[in-house]
Copies of this chain bind each other. A is one copy, B any other.
């Protein structure tokens, strides 16, 4: 290897503190540069873009045509046929009157159609948030003893959920929901699905006095203890419908062309079961039904918002947790279909849209809504092209609310339970869990903890555990980073890990160390110990093999993306320790921010002109040359 030409290590371009702060803030809050469309545009165009930005409806409305309308009507009717039975069922899951579920499928979809940027999101109540709201509110106020207060708290929590969501969007803090990682969500969802399914045994077995607790043990205990309440009529009918629904679900999943079978099944089974109960009413005395429902559109509920100190904390807490969960589902669904159809959704804008629709919902007798994964998939399958399908769905719900409510009188509770089980069973994504185990054990542990946390402790605790473990994982990686010894791939200037590349060879008299992490207060002590251990082991190896003596330690800083003051102190201390042992310390390829910190802390001078090289190759060549010059 001949010594190559030397290249200087540059400092990044000088910037004032203000410039750096501005850049940092813009990276935190505006990574997508949302105003880029407005650059170099005429005033008229700017106004147009602004209008499109705030009301995405203006993007598609002008070019809307009959062909699109036909698709949207078909898909809108399809999702309505799902939304009506699911709305009623999910409202029951949240311990709310069934009609609230229908109200919630009317106002929010209309608002989303105007403000939302996803073309495929089908808006309405979803199972997870219904479950969480039901649990958290019922812990504070019993829905059986104080139904009106419970309802008021539900609207208040919905108001806070919307406020929280819209604020996250306005403040561009949308990235906070990224901290609910996929892995933890898989576990959380599965745990919630198991709990919800077991809770449905109440409806499927016909038990009257069921626990209101949400942990697995009291639920199972309640099922067993209330054996004498089991109603065989209910059980036979319930499990038959459940089997039908699960079968159609399987058909829909196996053959995407037959998706309509699974989409139509819930409404069909509601109709069939209602008819059966209505016809054989006298023979089926033990089957619980929904009962009389009033006709009419959403009554205003802004007067029902309840900001009394006593229950404010629980309303705010429930609002934030359900708001966060519904955002996570809504944004994830929006992004999934956007990626599938190759368009972009803006996370922060979506949050504002979902937030505003929930605030409006809280004033019109709706509870928390978001984009539902299952209905959005049906929407996309049925050929939905724009947010118009949400409008069609909302209008269908209006017709139901105005004219069809008496028909639900004989709808049995067991069919709602069967519909819920069918819907949530899809949340148990064991394949994802398996692939987590295969790919990343720590992600699997996070997944498992949130699963068990939800199952055995409570929903908020499971969620908190999930976030906590995810953050611990990041910290662990920073606290205990990878380090390794590099060798030269002969005939090249490439230096790679000796463990991984068999071709790589040690360079005599050198130890070349790669550090794969920023050097922070949290790892500087570890790194110093670890580097000294690498040296000790290397010296032992040299002593055992009678190799040439160690003279120089090169640290490859390529992956050291940042350094803080503790890290700088460690580097200076390390340099002194090595100097004491007559070893030279050399840094190769420090990144821009590290160079800047070295410069500002005056550590750069202490490394001197022979202590800093652009590449490991140049460092080795040049230092070898200097040894030859003065042996």
Q: Which residues of A contact B (CB under 8 A)?
A: 4-5, 7, 10-13, 17, 20-21, 24, 27-28, 31-33, 36, 175, 178-179, 181-183, 339, 342, 344, 347, 435-436, 438-443, 470-471, 473-482, 484, 489, 491-494, 496-497, 499-503, 516-518, 520-526, 529-530, 532-533, 536, 558-559, 561-562, 564-566, 568-569, 573, 576-577, 580, 591-593, 597, 600-601, 614-615
Contacts and interface: CB of A to CB of B under 8 A. Distances in A.
A20 B442 CA distance: 12
A479 B526 contact: no
B182 A569 contact: yes
B559 A558 contact: yes
Contact of A439 (B12, B442, B600): B600
B523 A178 contact: yes
Contacts of A435: 565, 601
Given A439-B568, A480-B28, A564-B440, A179 B559 contact: no
Contacts of A502: 10
A89 to B, nearest CB: 31
A525 B178 contact: yes
Contacts of A614: 494, 496
Contacts of A477: 518, 561-562
B12 A436 contact: no
Nearest to A603: B439
A193 to B, nearest CB: 20
A440 B597 CA distance: 7
Nearest to A597: B439
A73 to B, nearest CB: 29
How many copies are assembled?
A: 2
A141 to B, nearest CB: 30
A565 B33 contact: no
A561 B516 contact: yes
**Max count, chain B CB within 10 A of own CB: residue among A17, A476, A566, A573:** A566
Contacts of A501: 10
B494 A615 contact: yes
B7 A492 contact: yes
Contact of A475 (B24, B31, B440, B471): B471
10 contacts: A10-B500, A33-B533, A181-B564, A182-B521, A182-B566, A440-B597, A443-B564, A473-B564, A474-B474, A474-B475
Contact of A500 (B442, B523, B592): B592
B522 A347 contact: no
B517 A12 contact: no
Given A5-B492, A10-B502, A31-B480, 4 more contacts: A436-B565, A438-B601, A443-B565, A474-B522
Nearest to A596: B439
A522 to B, nearest CB: 5
Which 4 A/B pairs are nearest by Cβ-Cβ distance?
Answer: A181-B521, A516-B561, A559-B559, A32-B529
Given A436-B565, A481-B561, A179 B525 contact: no
A79 to B, nearest CB: 26
Given A10-B501, A480-B28, A179 B522 contact: yes
B31 A533 contact: yes
B178 A526 contact: yes
Nearest to A470: B521
**Max count, chain B CB within 10 A of own CB: residue among A11, A20, A499:** A499
Nearest to A572: B339
A10 B477 CA distance: 22
Contacts of A597: 439-440
A443 B522 CA distance: 13
A525 B24 CA distance: 17
Nearest to A478: B474
A566 B499 contact: no
A332 to B, nearest CB: 10
Given A175-B479, A518-B477, A559-B559, A565 B339 contact: no
A39 to B, nearest CB: 9
Contact of A525 (B175, B500, B591): B175
B494 A342 contact: no
